[in-house]
Chains A and B, each alone.
Chain A
Amino acid sequence: MKTDDLIGLLSNQVTRVERGAVARRIASTLALGALGSVILMSVVFGVRHDLASVARTAIFWAKLAYPSVIAVGALLAVMRLGRPGARPGYAWALIALPFVAVWAGGLFVLDAAPPGERLSLVLGHTWHTCPFNIALLSVPTFPAAFLAVRSLAPTQLRLAGAVAGLLASSMATIAYCLHCPEMSPAFWSVWYALGMWIPAAIGAWLGERLLRW
């Protein structure tokens, strides 16, 4: 087919591009993924029994804010990475800020604790399962995040894949917060971070394969 014919094919009966249609579809895809994570969490791990009383403490909301802000940053970054020529800009700051804040909080807690208790503050009771639990809860959100990015036009595939993975794992972490009994920033700073980075690394690895267009 000659290029002129292709131009004819592309422009003939071209339909109007609905503004916001893609954003709506992405929102519903991600919501479905998040719902999947919450269901998986309640079936496999169970909602923590003291949730009602814990929900009245500030530390619970600080814990929830940690993956939530990362998720917002990752969503903004991924939407921009999905548009050719756009740069994530301040979305990076939004992703970095919670990690830095929790690391600072963790150091502060460790500094205040007696030396003998520091290790147990970091390891908590669930350090050996926590990152893998978060990775498991990312199973529903991961394809949702990749579908979302695929409906856009990413040009930096590995980066877009990594951020999509982070979006998936941070949403999964929000769901995991409803189960996880660990309440120390020293714990979150290591194991939650690791749990979020594993799917991000997988996303970077799969990006080149799954996001090509």
Chain B
Amino acid sequence: MDEDRAIVALAGFGHAGPINEEPGVLLAATAAEREHEPSSRHPAKRGTVVQEAESRLKALFVRGLDGDADAYRSFLQALTRHLRGFLRRRIPQYRDDVEDLVQEVLLAVHNARHTYRPDEPLTAWLHAIARYKLMDFYRARSHRESLNDPLDDYAELLADTDDEPAHARHDIAKLLDRLPDKQRLPIVHMKLEGLSVTETARITGLSESAVKVGVHRGLKALAALIRGTP
């Protein structure tokens, strides 16, 4: 079983998590999955695949929680592939928003990572976050769509090109510029330039704990900015 197969199988988040109030989320994705994945048509086999992916992802994530950046990067890359598969099936009518939503969920997973407990299934935790962000997306959508009645203003219909929101709404690099310096600088030095906490503290003149707090609060603020961008 290669990694991609395991990942594809998990893209449906096929774990019957305790919060899974909408079996449709799970079933719709699973049904689509089976068309691409003949070997997992058998439920028992599929369960094993999901189990394998869960334990591989979990191992990476738990190492990431301990500060292993390489493991954490691998985890986020694998999660991104799951999320794309999951969201493309969930919101086929909003294809251009999929990548934005993927980014939003990644940021949310990162900001909530301290709430995960290793004795629980990781898939249930991830699914709850993805579902929360998806619901948020639906809420924002229906609100915006109810406001933008094309019958009132024809120009508005033409002004809005298809791929514009996907780029303009969530340009995280641009949103980063809107953060206050004590959050932005730690993120720029540590997260973009890859400097250590100590080096960042020296350059910015902040204390080491202020650097860590700045990164933490800055990423939370970034998530809030993405949410608040219409």
A residues bordering B, Cβ < 8 Å? 1, 3, 5-17, 21-22, 82-87, 152-153, 155, 212-213
Contact = CB atoms under 8 A, between A and B. Distances in A.
A85 B69 contact: no
A1 B171 contact: yes
B77 A7 contact: yes
A12 B69 contact: yes
A83 B219 CA distance: 19
Given A3-B103, A153-B115, A9 B187 contact: yes
Main secondary structure of the interface of B (DSSP, over half): helix
Contacts, number: 118
Contacts of B195: 13
Contacts of B114: 17, 21-22
Contacts of B227: 212
A212 B112 CA distance: 12
Contacts of A22: 114-115
Contacts of B108: 153, 213
The 7 closest A-B pairs by CB, nearest first: A84-B128, A153-B112, A16-B67, A11-B73, A85-B124, A85-B128, A155-B132
Contact of A86 (B99, B113, B120): B120
B65 A85 contact: no
Contact of B212 (A15, A83, A87): A15
Given A7-B76, A17-B65, A83 B107 contact: no
Interface in B55-73: 64-70, 72-73
Interface string B113-135: 11111001100111111011000
Given A1-B172, A10-B110, A152 B115 contact: yes
B207 interface: no
